[in-house]
C-alpha cells in the first residue's frame, strides 16, 4: 500500500543572549563545571522572582516577523506543569494561549516548485537543566536551566522528507543570519521534534494518531528518524492496524527510536498564567521597530545573489550568509561593484581577516557598524601584510569612532613600517656578520633564512615587512 507522509515540526532554538531568560545568570554554560551558573530563580528556590530578558523577547519577535507571523500585541507567560527532575520548579515558564507570534509561513522552493509550510506559532520559553545517567543514578546540572528557548511550531504541512530537510536547513540559516541563535547543533542549540504520521494517498483527513520523536539534535538524524518511522508505521498500517499515539526517544544516532510514554494530553500540563510576571503589551510602533531591523533580502535570496550575481564560491557565500553583521558590511562595501572581480576578492579577503581578528581577540563589537570608508581606504592603500591584523585590531579596539585614516593610525601606534632600502640593508649587514653559523646553514638549507629574517625583525622592533627583509637577505647571500 502506498502512504503519504503527514508531518509537523516543533523546533527549539536557544537564543543568543548573554544572560538567562528570567535571571541574570550567564548563558555561557557549555562545558563549564556543573551548577556554577545558577541562582535562586533558575534553581526554582521558593520566593525567587523571574524577570523576563528584553533582548530575548526582541529576538523571538524578530524570528516571528521573519517567518511572516502576526504578533500578539498583548502577550503573557504561563506555567506548564509537569513533574520531572530537569525542571526544579515543577513547571516550565512558557506561553500558552497568547504566544508572542502566530500564523506565519515559510515558502520552500524544491525542484522549481513552491511548497508553503504554515507556522502555527513562535513562542518564548526557558530551557531545562541537564540530566545524565550512570550506575542507576541520575546526575543533575542546572547550568542550562533557564536559558532562553524559542519554540517554533509548524502546521502538519510536510508531505516529503525533502521538504523537512529543506525547512530545517533554511530555518537554521535564518536564525544564524538574524543573529537570533548560533544554532550550533553539536551544542544542542537547535533541536527538532517531528510529529509523524501516515495516511493513504488521496485521503485529505489528518490521520487519527501521531508519533512524536523527542530531542533530535542533528538534521541527518532527523532524516533517519523519519525514514525509520515511515517504514515502521507502514508495516503496522499494512496489517490493518493503527499505530499507537506515543512519544518515542532516540536509541542512538542511527535514528532508531523506542517508545517512551503515552503522549501527555494538553490538559495534563494544567497551564495557567504565570502570576509572577506581569503581562506584556506592545504598541504597533514597538513591533514596527523590530520589523525595521529585518534585512531586505532573506538569507536564501542573499545566497543566490552572492553566487549568481557576485560570483562568490559556495563556501564564501555561506560564510557571509551565516552572519548578518558580516553580510551587512560586505553588502555596504560591494556598493554596485558586483562585477569588479579584483575589488570583490580584496573585500572578501579583508572581511575574513577582520572576522578572524574579532574572533581571536574576543572583541565584542557589532562590526556591521564599522565605517565602510575606512575599509575602502585599507583596500586602496594596503598596509604591509604583517601589519594588517594589528591595524584592524587597534582600529576596532581604540579608534572605533575616531575618524583617522589607516596610515594615521599606524603612525599614532608606532606601527609604521621602515621601507627605506638603505636602512634595511644596514640592519641586514649587521645580522649577517653577527650570525656566521646561520649564514653557513643557509647554504645547505634555504629555510634557515627565516632565522636571519627573525633577527632583523627583532632588531628593528618589528617595524619592517618580513617579506621585503627576506628578499634583501637573499640578495646579499647569493
What is the contact surface with other proteins in residues (CB under 8 A)? 17-19, 24-28, 33-40, 43, 45, 51-57, 76, 81-85, 98, 131-133, 136-142, 268, 270, 273, 275, 277-281
Give the shortest CB-133-to-other proteins separation in angstroms: 6
What angle do helix axes 314-321 and 341-360 make, rounded to 10 degrees? 50
Pick the closer one to other proteins by CB: 261 or 292: 261
Give the shortest CB-310-to-other proteins separation in angstroms: 35
Pick the closer one to other proteins by CB: 86 or 441: 86
Residues 6+ apart with CB under 8 A from 113: none
Pick the closer one to other proteins by CB: 125 or 166: 125
Give the shortest CB-266-to-other proteins separation in angstroms: 13
Pick the closer one to other proteins by CB: 279 or 475: 279
Calculate the CA dihedral of residues 41, 43, 45, 47 and round it to 10 degrees: 10
Give the shortest CB-170-to-other proteins separation in angstroms: 27
- Residue 26: DSSP 8-state: B
Give the shortest CB-232-to-other proteins separation in angstroms: 21
- What pairs with residue 475 in β-bridges? none
Q: How far apart are CA 163 and CA 161, in angstroms?
A: 5
Cell numbers placing 350: 579583508
Give the shortest CB-81-to-other proteins separation in angstroms: 8
Pick the closer one to other proteins by CB: 40 or 314: 40
Pick the closer one to other proteins by CB: 157 or 274: 274
Pick the closer one to other proteins by CB: 137 or 296: 137
Where b means 16+ CB within 10 Å and e means fewer, 306-334 reads bbeebebeeebbebbbbbbbbbbbbbbbb
Q: Is residue 254 within 8 Å of 38, Cβ to Cβ?
A: no
Give CA 219 to chain center in angstroms. 15
Q: Is residue 50 within 8 Å of 39, Cβ to Cβ?
A: no
Pick the closer one to other proteins by CB: 35 or 435: 35
Pick the closer one to other proteins by CB: 40 or 446: 40
Give the shortest CB-105-to-other proteins separation in angstroms: 28
Pick the closer one to other proteins by CB: 48 or 230: 48
Give the shortest CB-39-to-other proteins separation in angstroms: 5
Give the shortest CB-350-to-other proteins separation in angstroms: 31
In terms of C-beta density within 10 A (0-12 exposed, 13-18 middle, 19 or more buried), how is residue 163 classed?
middle
Sign of torsion over alpha carbons 352, 393, 173, 144: positive
Give the shortest CB-457-to-other proteins separation in angstroms: 41
Cell numbers placing 358: 574579532
Q: How far apart are CA 80 and CA 128, in angstroms?
A: 12
Where b means 16+ CB within 10 Å and e means fewer, 30-62 reads eeeeeeebbeebbbbeeeeebebbeebbbbbbb
What is the phi/psi pair of residue 39, to 5°?
Answer: -155, 175
Q: How far apart are CA 217 and CA 239, in angstroms?
A: 32
Where b means 16+ CB within 10 Å and e means fewer, 362-386 reads eeeeebbebbbebbbebbeeebbeb
Amino acid at each position: 500500500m502506498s502512504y503519504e507522509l503527514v508531518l509537523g515540526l516543533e523546533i527549539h532554538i536557544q537564543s543568543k543572549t548573554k544572560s538567562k531568560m528570567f535571571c541574570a545568570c550567564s548563558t555561557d554554560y557549555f562545558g563549564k563545571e556543573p551548577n556554577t551558573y545558577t541562582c535562586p530563580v533558575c534553581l526554582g528556590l521558593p520566593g525567587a522572582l523571574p524577570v523576563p530578558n528584553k533582548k530575548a523577547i526582541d529576538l523571538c519577535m524578530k524570528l516571528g516577523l521573519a517567518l511572516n507571523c502576526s504578533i500578539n500585541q498583548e502577550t503573557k507567560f504561563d506555567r506548564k506543569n509537569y513533574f520531572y527532575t530537569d525542571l526544579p520548579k515543577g513547571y516550565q515558564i512558557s506561553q500558552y494561549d497568547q504566544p508572542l507570534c502566530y500564523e506565519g509561513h515559510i515558502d520552500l522552493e524544491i525542484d522549481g516548485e513552491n511548497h508553503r509550510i504554515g507556522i502555527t506559532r513562535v513562542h518564548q520559553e526557558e530551557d531545562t537543566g541537564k540530566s545524565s545517567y550512570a550506575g542507576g543514578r541520575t546526575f543533575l546540572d542546572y547550568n542550562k536551566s533557564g536559558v532562553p528557548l524559542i519554540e517554533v511550531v509548524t502546521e502538519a504541512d510536510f508531505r516529503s522528507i525533502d521538504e523537512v530537510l529543506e525547512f530545517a536547513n533554511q530555518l537554521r540559516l535564518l536564525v544564524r543570519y538574524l543573529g537570533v541563535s548560533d544554532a550550533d547543533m553539536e551544542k544542542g542549540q537547535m533541536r527538532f521534534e517531528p510529529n509523524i504520521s501516515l495516511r493513504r494517498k488521496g485521503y485529505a483527513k489528518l490521520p487519527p494518531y501521531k508519533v512524536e520523536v523527542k530531542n533530535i539534535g542533528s538534521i541527518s538524524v532527523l532524516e533517519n528518524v523519519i525514514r525509520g518511522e515511515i517504514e515502521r508505521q507502514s508495516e503496522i498500517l499494512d496489517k490493518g492496524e493503527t499505530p499507537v499515539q506515543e512519544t518515542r526517544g532516540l536509541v542512538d544516532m542511527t535514528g532508531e527510536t523506542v517508545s517512551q510514554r503515552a503522549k501527555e494530553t494538553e490538559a495534563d500540563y494544567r497551564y495557567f498564567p504565570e502570576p509572577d510576571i506581569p503581562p506584556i503589551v506592545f504598541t504597533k510602533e514597538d513591533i514596527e521597530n523590530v520589523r525595521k531591523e529585518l534585512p531586505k533580502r532573506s538569507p536564501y535570496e542573499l545566497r543566490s545573489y552572492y553566487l549568481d550575481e557576485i560570483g562568490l564560491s559556495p563556501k564564501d557565500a555561506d560564510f557571509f550568509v551565516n552572519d548578518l553583521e558580516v553580510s551587512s558590511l560586505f553588502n555596504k562595501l560591494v556598493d554596485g561593484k558586483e562585477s569588479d572581480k579584483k575589488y570583490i576578492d580584496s573585500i572578501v579577503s579583508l572581511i575574513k581577516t577582520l572576522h578572524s581578528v574579532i574572533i581571536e581577540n574576543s572583541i565584542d563589537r557589532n562590526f556591521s557598524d564599522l565605517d565602510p570608508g575606512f575599509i575602502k581606504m585599507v583596500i586602496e592603500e594596503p598596509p604591509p601584510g604583517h601589519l594588517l591584523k594589528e591595524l584592524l585590531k587597534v582600529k576596532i579596539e581604540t579608534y572605533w569612532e575616531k575618524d583617522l585614516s589607516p596610515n594615521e593610525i599606524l603612525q599614532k601606534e608606532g606601527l609604521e613600517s621602515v621601507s627605506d632600502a638603505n636602512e634595511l640593508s644596514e640592519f641586514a649587514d649587521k645580522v649577517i656578520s653577527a650570525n656566521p653559523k646561520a649564514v653557513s646553514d643557509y647554504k645547505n638549507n634555504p629555510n634557515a633564512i627565516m632565522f636571519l629574517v627573525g633577527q632583523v625583525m627583532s632588531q628593528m622592533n618589528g617595524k619592517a615587512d618580513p617579506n621585503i627583509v627576506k628578499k634583501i637577505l637573499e640578495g646579499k647571500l647569493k
